[in-house]
Amino acid sequence: QENVEIVRRLYETMNARDVAGAAELIHRDAEWIPDSRVGEGPVRGRENIIRFFTDRAEVFGQLDAEAERFWDKDDKVLVFVRVTGRGQASGAEFEIRIGHLWTVRDGIVVRGRGYGDRSEALEAAGVSE
């Protein structure tokens, strides 16, 4: 449950655009692997991971990631995330439902991976609904 709270705080800090708060929760050598549909390879290093997410948030006039459900297994935390936003230029609203699988060691996030398909995320985490 401690790992879930760490990941929950990570979403809270990122939604608040609290870069310093997020930095406290991510290891300096952490790795983020975006969903393959994003078209980018792995992102390494705390500052680069934070930049990855803040850059995406800046593209939109409004962007929020709501952690809907958590699973805690060993050092992994799977999160079903509902992302909503509004295009900065178009004003068009959108909603996507994705999965993030985080690895937490010694109270800090060391790795994350995004999944555009929640069933893939469940399989990768080794959990079921």
Region 63-70: mean pLDDT is 93
pLDDT-derived band at 50 (thresholds 50, 70, 90) equals very high
**Percent above pLDDT 70 for the chain:** 99
Reported confidence tier of residue 63, pLDDT bands at 50, 70, 90 = confident
pLDDT (mean) for 19-41: 93
pTM of structure: 0.92
pLDDT digits (tens, 9 = 90+) for 86-99: 888 888 899 999 99
What's the number of CA atoms in the CB half-sphere (13 Å) around residue 109?
29
Q: How many beta carbons lie within 10 A of that of residue 97, not counting itself?
A: 14
What's the pLDDT score for residue 29? 98
Q: What is the pLDDT of residue 129?
A: 83
pLDDT at 36 over 90: no
Percent of all residues in the chain with a pLDDT value above 90, rounded to a whole number: 75
Pinpoint the alpha helices (H) of 24-98. Answer: 46-59
Tell me which DSSP letter residue 25 carries. T
pLDDT exceeds 80 at position 12: yes
Phi, psi of 21 (to 5 degrees): -65, -40
